[in-house]
Structure 1
Amino acid sequence: MGTIGTALNELRSAQKSAKGVSLYSRFVNRPVGRYLAAGAYAVRLTPNQVTFISVAFSFTAVGGTALGAPSWTLGLLIWLGLAVGFAFDSADGQLARLRGGGSPAGEWLDHVVDCAKITALHLAVLIAFYRHPAHFGTTDHAWLLVPLGFQLAAVVTFFGGLLTEKLKPRPTPGAQAPTPSTLRAVALLPVDHGVFCVVFLLFGGGTVFRWAYTVLGAAAVLFLVAFLAKWFRELSEVRR
Structure 2
Amino acid sequence: MAGGTVVDGGVRMSWGEALSRLRNAQKAAKGVSLYSRFVNRPAGRVLAASAYVARLTPNQVTVVSAAFSFAGVAVLALGAPSWAVGVLVSAALVVGFAFDSADGQLARLRGGGSPAGEWLDHVVDCAKLTVLHLAVAISFYRYPGFYGTEGSELWLLLPFGFLLATIVTFVGGLLTEKLKPRPAPGSAPPAPSTLRAVALLPVDHGVFCLVFVLLGGGPLFLWGYGLLGAAAALYLPLFLVKWFRELDNG
**Same fold, judged at TM 0.5 (above):** yes
Note the 1:76-225 alignment, pairs <5 A.
Answer: 76-139=87-150, 140-225=152-237
1:174 aligned counterpart, secondary structure: coil
Can you list the C-alpha shifts for 1:32-72, whole angstroms capped at 9, x where unaligned? 00000000000100000000000110000001111101100
Q: How many residues are matched?
A: 237
Output the aligned Cα RMSD: 0.9
Distance 1:30 1:164 in 2: 22
Give unmatched runs, 5+ long, in structure 2. Answer: 1-12
Amino acid at match of 2:237: V
Structure 1 residue 218 displacement after superposition: 0.3
Amino acid at match of 2:213: L
Identity of matched residues, %: 71
Amino acid at match of 1:179: A
CA contact (8 A) 1:47 1:106 kept: yes
Q: Runs ≥4 in structure 1, deviation > 3 angstroms?
A: none
Distance 1:42 1:69 in 2: 39
Structure 1 residue 167 displacement after superposition: 1.3
Q: Answer 1 or 2: which has greater helix percent.
A: 1
CA contact (8 A) 1:72 1:205 kept: yes
Can you list the C-alpha shifts for 1:159-187, whole angstroms capped at 9, x where unaligned? 00001111111111111100011110000
Give unmatched runs, 5+ long, in structure 1. Answer: none
User: TM (normalized to structure 2)?
Assistant: 0.93
User: TM (normalized to structure 1)?
Assistant: 0.97
